[in-house]
Amino acid sequence: MLIFSLASYKSHKFDMNSNTRLQMILADTPVGMILPAIAQLNLPDWWLAGGAVRNTVWRLIFGDDCELVIKDFDIAFFDIQGDRTQELAAKATLTQQFPNNEFDVKNQASFARWRDGDTAYNSTEDGITQWLHTATAVGVRLNAQGKWEFFTPYGLDDLFNGIIRTTPVHTDNPHAHQKAAIFLQKCPYLRLA
C-alpha cells in the first residue's frame, strides 16, 4: 500500500505512473475505505467507478471550491445469470456497514433489460466504457490478494486535468452535455473538451 499524505501529494511532484497516482489519491478517502467491503461481496467482475472516483480526485486537485462531492458509490458487476435480488442484497449489505453512504449496485449484464434504449453489454468493462464521460469511466477494485486494480479505457489524463469529455458513444447525447454543465457550475476549474 502506498502511504503519502494529501499535503505531500499537493506539494510535490512524484515520478509515478497514473495508476499509482490514482491509488495514492484514493487510498485514504471514503473510496479506499469502502473498497475492501465491496471486495468481500464477491460480485463477479466488479468495479467501483463513476462519480465517487471522479469527484474525490477533482476535490483533491481543485480544493473545496470544487463543490462536487460523493453522491453515491457506483458499483458495476457482470453476472449473466444474475437478477435484481443480487444487486439489492449487495446494496443492503453495504448500506448496513456504511449507513451514511448511498450505493448504486448494477449488474451490467441486465442493464439493457430495465433501461430503455440501451444495448446489452458484454462485460462490466463494456458497460463502464459506455458511461457518459471519460473521467467518469474510471474503475478501481481490489483483487483477491487485496491489491489495487484499475480499469481506465480512456486513460487518466482527463481525470487528472479536470477535463469533461464525452465518451465516443455520447458525443451527441444531450444528457451528457447537461451533466457537463452541472459539473462546470459546481467546479469552475473544470474545462470542456
pLDDT value at 4 more than 70: no
Q: Which amino acid is at 45?
A: D
What pTM does this model have?
A: 0.89
Give which of 159, 162, 157, 158 is closest to 188, Cα–Cα. 162
pLDDT value at 136 more than 50: yes
User: Do the beta carbons of residue 55 and residue 76 sit within 8 Å?
Assistant: no
What phi, psi does 141 have (nearest 5°)?
-160, 170
State the Cα–Cα distance between residues 104 and 97, nearest whole angstrom. 15
Q: What is the pLDDT of residue 16?
A: 64
Those residues whose C-beta lies under 8 Å from the C-beta of residue 86, and which sit 6 or more positions away, are: 43, 79, 107
